[in-house]
Structure 1
Amino acid sequence: MSSYASPSRAISEGKTSRSSLLSRSTPSKAGEEIEYADQRAMKDTFINRLRMFVSPYFAEFFGTAVFVLVGCGSNLTYAVMTSNSESAWLSAALGWGIGLMLGVFVAGGVSGAMLNPAVALAFAAFRGLPWIQVPFYFLAEFAGAFVGALLAYACFAHSLDPFDGYNRQISGPFGTAGAFGNFARPFIGNGAAFLSESVGTGLLVLGVFAITDANNFPARSCTPIAIGLLLTGLAIGIGYPTGYSFNPARDLGPRCAAAIWYGARVFTAHGSYTWVPVAAPLAGGPIGALLYEFFIVSKRTKLDDMPEDERRAIELD
């Protein structure tokens, strides 16, 4: 046993030589290695485990915040700075797609970048995400969307003032609350809006499952771009009636942030529309996942289970 490993024993025996005292204050090289190994073990058992536990949720938080910041910023830009509604619609759809792409780049390698409670629910049901993590994902995504909306408003507050005369309005020619929480078109009822949001979210989740399916043609390093374009395509294709939320956190978080400036009527406008973009995606997302898993993955799984010669023959056909 080295003198550094047992200096207290040397002192208790009266053998407090100069060398033993020096060994307490100036450890040998071997002693340094033992000390750093102990410190490393402490970090592995506490700090690193804590980081490993919370890192997926912080990744979801930051990824969702980036997604919503860019998306809400796109809405505000074209609500304030342009009168060309067609151009504004296309540009905002592209902005939301780019925002989602950036959010996936931020969080994808750590948490999988669900960024959407409907997607997290579908992955828990069909792709092995532990159910115990789902509530934490929900909270992280909601908090990230809330903070992202706050940052978007902070960036645009001075641009909104001359636009609406310092009077924040929910609807009308100077209404900007829709840049945060979605509102269906005035001629769209809540039932039709629920159907539209459910179908859109189902298609979104089905597309995400297809893009990330290793048995299909996975996008791999292009996954964030593919998912961002998927949202842009759905926004352009079927998003007009409701404003394409397709994501409970993306709507509810910014809506809560908007209530700070626009008042509680953001929750009750359009027949208390708030429940639609929350409930509809949670209903439609798992259905889209079920359709993909049942009709597409199952066939490819059976193909993988076939003998190699039969599988090759089918693939050649």
Structure 2
Amino acid sequence: MGIYTSAPVSDALMWYSDRQLLVTCANATANIFATYPDENLSHLNGFVEQAFSTGILVLFILSITDKNSGVPKGIQPLLIGSVILGIGVAMGLNSVCALNPARDFGPRVFTAVAGWGSDVFRAGGGWWWIPVVWPMVGGAVAACIYFPFNKFHRPEPEKQEEDNMNDNHELKKSSSRSVFFFHF
């Protein structure tokens, strides 16, 4: 947003990167758009980080939006946003936590076409595919954990409401009979 705000007055992006579109270095600008690993992050740690962070996000989204959770619909976006903020703060230092393949791959293609070149796919030892593939793996694993251990053990809310309505109807019938009987 700072670049857009100052664009009419100065070329902030080019000023920051010394008039070069850099992919890796202290003044790299490609990482504004896509995720790139810290120098100390190995591919194995990147796999774990991307899968774990997205798995946590999917697990919380499934539990927050579950019909049986009791979370009001108006609060759900706030809770999901808080989860995303927490994950970003906790794990964002290493590689900015893609959490979603579309959050990384589309911007990476954009930067390749917009002037950064094919270095966006070679940077970090071919890092580009890690934030594309591993969030999908983490999300699938989270769903495989959530549904058998949580979702399938509870009846659907519609079924509960229908049963409650039948119980209430029976209660009304019996109470009306007792009132009727009591009057005679």
Q: TM-score range by the shorter chain?
A: 0.7 to 0.9
Could you state the TM-score of these two structures normalised by the residue count of structure 2?
0.76
Q: Look at both structures and tell me which one has the larger radius of gyration over its CA atoms.
A: 1
- Unmatched tracts of structure 1, length 5 or more: 1-72, 81-150, 309-317
Partner of 1:282: 136
Choose from 50, 61, 65 the match for 1:212. Answer: 65
AA aligned to 2:81 is G
After superposing on structure 2, the runs of 4+ consecutive aligned residues of structure 1 that deviate more than 4 Å are 302-305
Partner of 1:239: 92
**Displacement of 1:225:** 2.0
**Displacement of 1:184:** 1.4
Partner of 2:80: 227
Partner of 1:292: 146
- CA distance 1:243–1:257, shift in 2 (3 Å): same
Q: Helix, strand or coil for the counterpart of 2:40?
A: coil
Partner of 2:175: none
| Mapped contact 2:36–2:124 kept (Cα < 8 A) | yes
- Unmatched tracts of structure 2, length 5 or more: 165-184
Aligned length: 158
Partner of 2:11: 158
- CA distance 1:213–1:159, shift in 2 (3 Å): same
Higher relative contact order (CA 8 A, sep 6+): 2
More displaced, 204-213 or 232-241? 232-241
| Mapped contact 2:24–2:123 kept (Cα < 8 A) | no
Choose from 261, 270, 275 the match for 2:124. Answer: 270
String of CA shifts for 1:225-277, please: whole Å, max 9, x gaps.
22211111111122322211011000000111111221110001111101100
Correspondences of 1:109-148 after superposition (within 5 Å): none
AA aligned to 1:290 is C
Correspondences of 1:1-317 after superposition (within 5 Å): 73=1, 77=2, 158-259=11-112, 260-301=114-155
| Mapped contact 1:210–1:216 kept (Cα < 8 A) | yes
Mapped to 2, the partners of 1:252 and 1:273 lie a distance apart of 11
Could you state the TM-score of these two structures normalised by the residue count of structure 1?
0.46
Mapped to 2, the partners of 1:302 and 1:289 lie a distance apart of 18
Mapped to 1, the partners of 2:130 and 2:145 lie a distance apart of 22
Q: Helix, strand or coil for the counterpart of 1:170?
A: coil
| Mapped contact 1:211–1:219 kept (Cα < 8 A) | no
AA aligned to 1:282 is M
